[in-house]
């Protein structure tokens, strides 16, 4: 029996009315903005409105070219009071002789993972290690791929959405994968978020590690597996997993990608800082070509947890809401994460767009995770 990927089995909820409430709200806000602009003698013409779960952006074309930036700056500071919102962002659009005003979405909806699994952007990417993070302020899905970003650190305080994001990453990969292409190693010393995947045996490289000793053993095994794979690559005269699997594809002896998920990193660092840091830095430096990828999550992004060496090798750093400016700078290298509003509001540096990108994390429910695992375990997997 041919295995049908879970993505095609209606496991995940889809909300076809995601922005219905936002549309009415955006119309009311748009009228208020025009009134405020008119009262400040700024003549402009509305051009477009872009609504997303996290924000609404209004674009205007100026009728007069003698508007000073100081005028708009003054309105930027006063407009939140008229709109009853936390902040307003102005940005000039020189090529359109206009400007844009972006405000937070007051009716911030939950973004189901199912909505994004169905997008053309996701379906067109041919990769076993692609995964969804969420949706940005332009309604574009945020899709990453371990073939391009080998390792990542996720930071966020309790209630920020960090744990939901981890589940979203795992489920979006499981929904699209077959057993001989991806395996997971789950390290969950707090025994909170990842133990549920112990039932997903067909995609487990090893049982879920729930103690410090088991976690350290798992990292040792991954370092051993990395070196073993490089030995196999040398025998075949290839440099990476993709080349190796291409040679062995006909014999069905391909090696899977292995994704190591650690939640909570601080638990391991506090147990044996030097040993854990050494394993993580070694894997971060060398495991990419071997097809071993790491996700390290922490709710305490402090210097003793996320060291400079670790950040240097885990180049994708995603931040949800953190407690203060110092934690934001450790998590991302810049300020901003301390101003996120929680509940899935996140930001990261997008190397492809050469800048920081905000997004609303997608949501997967416990019921959907259970249905996904049940489907995988109860169906034969034949590629």
Contacts of 98 (CB under 8 A, 6+ apart): 44, 47, 59, 60, 61, 62, 92
Instruction: Provide the CB-side half-sphere exposure for 257 (13 A, CA).
Output: 23
pLDDT value of residue 383: 47
pTM to 2 decimals?
Answer: 0.90
Using the structure block, give the residue that is written with the tokens 């994460």: 337
**What residues contact residue 27 under an 8 Å CB cut-off, 6+ apart?**
none
**Cα–Cα distance between 94 and 98 in angstroms, integer?**
6
Structure tokens at 218: 């798992």
Is 361 found in the same domain as 217? yes
Domain of 30, CATH number, reads 3.30.980.40
β-pairing verdict for 55-62 and 44-51: antiparallel
H/E run at residue 101: strand 98-104
60-83 confidence digits (pLDDT tens): 998 876 777 777 778 888 898 998
Sign of CA dihedral 230, 235, 240, 241: negative
Q: Per-residue pLDDT averaged across 15-33, rounded? A: 86
Cα distance from N-terminal residue to C-terminal residue, the chain: 10
pLDDT in tens, 88-104: 888 888 777 888 999 88
Q: 207 and 242: one domain?
A: yes
Is the residue at 338 inside a domain? yes
Contact 30, 47 (CB under 8 A): no
Boundary residue ending a domain (104, 134, 151): 104
- Rg of the Cα trace of the chain? 23
Q: What is the CATH number for 311? A: 3.40.50.300
In a domain, 211, yes or no: yes
Residue numbers of the domain that contains 88: 20-104
- What distance separates the 2 farthest-apart alpha carbons in the chain? 75
Which pLDDT score, from 0 to 100, does residue 371 have?
Answer: 96
Strands ordered across the beta sheet of 151-155: 141-145, 130-136, 355-361, 345-350, 316-319, 151-155, 292-298, 257-263, 182-187
Mean pLDDT of 296-320: 94
Number of domains in the chain: 2
Q: Is residue 268 part of a domain?
A: yes
Residue 380 has a pLDDT of 59
Residues 327 and 268 in one domain: yes
Residue 2: its pLDDT value, please? Answer: 66
Same domain, 202 and 290: yes
Is the domain of 70 the same as that of 157?
A: no
308 assigned to some structural domain: yes
pLDDT tens digits along 109-133: 899 999 999 999 999 999 999 999 9
In a domain, 69, yes or no: yes
pLDDT band at 381 (very low <50, low <70, confident <90, very high): low
Both 74 and 30 in one domain: the answer is yes
Residues 248, 150, single domain; the answer is yes
Give the pLDDT score at 345. Answer: 92
Which pLDDT does position 1 carry in this prediction? 57
65 shares its domain with 120:
no
pLDDT class for 302, splitting at 50, 70, 90? very high
Q: Check residues 275 and 107 and name the one with the higher pLDDT.
A: 275
Residue 328 is assigned to a structural domain of this protein: yes
Average pLDDT value over all residues in the chain: 91
Whether residue 81 sits in one domain with residue 131: no
Quote the percentage of the chain above a pLDDT of 70. 98
The reply to whether 263 and 166 lie within a common domain is yes
């Amino acid at each position: 029996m041919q295995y049908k990927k879970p993505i095609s089995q209606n496991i995940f909820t889809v909300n076809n009315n995601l922005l219905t409430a936002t549309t009415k709200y955006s119309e009311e806000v748009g009228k208020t903005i025009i009134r405020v602009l008119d009262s400040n003698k700024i003549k402009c013409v509305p051009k477009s409105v872009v609504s997303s779960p996290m924000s609404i952006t209004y674009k205007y074309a100026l009728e007069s070219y003698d508007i000073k930036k100081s005028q708009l700056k003054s309105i930027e500071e006063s407009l939140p009071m008229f709109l009853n919102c936390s902040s307003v962002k102005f940005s000039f659009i020189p090529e359109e002789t206009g400007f844009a005003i972006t405000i937070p979405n007051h009716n911030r909806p939950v973004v189901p993972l199912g909505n994004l699994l169905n997008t053309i952007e996701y379906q067109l990417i041919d990769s076993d290690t692609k995964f969804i993070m969420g949706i940005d302020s332009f309604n574009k899905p945020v899709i990453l791929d371990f073939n391009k970003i080998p390792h990542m650190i996720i930071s966020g305080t309790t209630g920020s959405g960090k744990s939901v994001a981890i589940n979203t990453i795992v489920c979006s990969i499981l929904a699209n994968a077959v057993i001989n292409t991806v395996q997971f190693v789950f390290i969950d010393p707090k025994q909170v978020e990842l133990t549920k995947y112990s039932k997903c045996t067909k995609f487990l490289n090893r049982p879920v590690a729930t103690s410090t000793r088991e976690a350290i053993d798992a990292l040792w095994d991954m370092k051993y597996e990395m070196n073993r794979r490089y030995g196999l690559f040398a025998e075949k005269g290839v440099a990476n997993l993709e080349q190796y699997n291409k040679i062995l594809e006909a014999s069905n002896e391909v090696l899977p990608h292995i994704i190591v998920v650690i939640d909570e990193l601080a638990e391991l660092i506090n147990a044996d800082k030097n040993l854990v840091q050494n394993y993580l830095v070694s894997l971060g430096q060398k495991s990419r070509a071997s097809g071993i990828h790491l996700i390290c999550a922490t709710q305490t992004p402090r210097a003793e947890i996320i060291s400079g060496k670790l950040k240097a090798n885990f180049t994708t750093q995603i931040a949800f809401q953190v407690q203060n400016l110092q934690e934001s700078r450790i998590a991302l290298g810049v300020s901003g994460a301390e101003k996120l509003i929680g509940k899935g509001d996140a930001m990261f540096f997008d190397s492809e767009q050469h800048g920081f990108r905000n997004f609303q994390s997608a949501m997967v429910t416990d019921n959907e995770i259970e249905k996904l695992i049940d489907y995988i375990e109860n169906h034969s997997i034949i590629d």
